[in-house]
Structure 1
């Protein structure tokens, strides 16, 4: 078992020191608090990621629409030039 580069012997040592410093009654409370904090960070990270994806998709949609409008503008202007030249040739 290797979590964050810390092996089992190191984890056991940290647990023993924590028990000595905080005591067995306070340790579960500290664990709950740390768990809630980690969960809060995970939720905030997920929310940020979702918002980033939504904004990226919105930007891609906008760029796609702008490119489509430019293509239509170019097509209509070239069509207009063809119509004008056929009128002048007649």
Structure 2
């Protein structure tokens, strides 16, 4: 079975990506970018925790409207 080489990133590719990021953003900007990324991941995880609670108590009454319209 043929697998694409794009799916697997090796050490050389990671080094090239890091060097390009340093050249594009500079050494001072990268910690700020990573901090923002970390905050985004944290907010996403908090949203995932809140998600099932919102599904158990739906504010949308589409099912009730359907039942009422059929009567």
With normalisation by structure 2, the TM-score equals: 0.55
Residue aligning to 2:16: 13
Q: Structure 1 residue 6: deviation in Å?
A: 3.9
- Considering fraction of residues, name the structure with more helix: 1
Cross-structure match for 2:38: 35
The structure whose Rg is larger is: 1
For 2:27, the equivalent position in structure 1 comes to 24
Query: How many residues are paired up?
Result: 51
Partner of 1:74: none
1:5 deviation in Å?
5.3
Residue segments in structure 1 that go unaligned for 5+ positions in a row: 57-90
Cα deviation, residue 18, structure 1: 0.7
